[in-house]
Amino acid sequence: MTRTARQLFDLSGKTALVTGGSRGLGLQMAHALGEAGARVIVSARKAGDLEEAVAELRAAGIDAQAIAADCSREDETRGLADAAIERLGCVDILVNNAGASWGAAAEEHPVEAWDKVMNLNIRGYFILAQQIARHSMIPRRSGRIINIASVAALNGNVPEMRTLAYNTSKTAVLGFTQTLAAEWGRHNITVNAICPGFFMTKLTAGLIHSLGAERIAAKSPLGRLGDDEDLKGITLLYASDAGKHVTGQWLAVDGGVSVVNG
């Protein structure tokens, strides 16, 4: 029997792990998954931030837990995957969102800062996806992986940004997404990416203030920055059966900036 659109987006009985889920875009996506019925584990480095996030999610009626882990470290990343599977029984949906940035001119960019960004923004995605797939998704022949890239992966920078490592890592996320989608499709695992534009988060607040929020918004066809709802729809599409025939794709959620600046 053909399901209704509401039924296709329903995540009741599903489980999800969201890294970088204690605030910002990760917390917004955790809300989206939980509001659709999924049980959610959020992860980040700081236990205090996670406690606040879980309290917020539970106040919204979401079955939420937290696991503290640093996804730039292989041992902690693999431990996170194992702990999430143990607690939830399986992980149906993985959102790779934990990320870092570093501002420096390319000719002066420290190698150690390059490694820090790469280890979290792409190496961590690989390790976590591999561990979750091996021990949950591939054996069950089912899974949804959502990788957070950025519109910074689509073009070069304005001179003021100077985020070489970040941009490079997010470009790598797109290649990683497409390659995994092609390889793991036979396991009924979909792998897709989201490319957010400017959202006012702790990670981007300093850059937005330095560039000017009104100036940034003016470059968008919609004339605004992203808000606390703008990633919910695409997250649910990728995570649910509504998107079961979508894999290896990315979508910019940027108010149209990539259209006029691409």
pLDDT computed for residue 137 by the predictor = 98
Count the neighbouring beta carbons within 10 Å of the beta carbon of residue 131. Answer: 21
Dist. CA 235–CA 243, nearest whole Å: 10
Tens-digit pLDDT profile for residues 184-207:
999 999 999 999 998 878 777 777
Q: Please give the structure tokens belonging to residue 177.
A: 């997404």
Whether the CB-CB separation of 14 and 62 falls below 8 Å is answered with no
Q: Please give the structure tokens belonging to residue 260.
A: 């006029």
Across the range 67-80, mean pLDDT stands at 98
pLDDT computed for residue 155 by the predictor = 82
pLDDT computed for residue 187 by the predictor = 98
Q: Where are the domains of the chain?
A: 12-199+228-255
Cite the active site residues: 166
CA dihedral sign of residues 202, 208, 210, 213: negative
Across the range 20-47, mean pLDDT stands at 97
- The residues, any chain, with a CB within 8 Å of residue 2's CB and separated by 6 or more, are none
- The residues, any chain, with a CB within 8 Å of residue 220's CB and separated by 6 or more, are 197, 254, 255, 256, 257
pLDDT computed for residue 210 by the predictor = 75
Tens-digit pLDDT profile for residues 128-146:
999 999 999 999 999 999 9
The pLDDT confidence band at residue 216, using thresholds 50, 70 and 90, is confident
Fold that domain 12-199+228-255 belongs to in CATH: Rossmann fold (3.40.50)
Dist. CA 25–CA 229, nearest whole Å: 9
Instruction: Tell me the average pLDDT of the chain.
Output: 94
Residue 158 vs residue 84, higher pLDDT: 84
Whether the CB-CB separation of 165 and 209 falls below 8 Å is answered with no
- Give the predicted TM-score (pTM) of the model: 0.95
pLDDT computed for residue 227 by the predictor = 94
Share of the chain above pLDDT 90, in %: 84
E strands, 25-120, are: 39-44, 64-68, 93-96
Whether the CB-CB separation of 125 and 147 falls below 8 Å is answered with yes
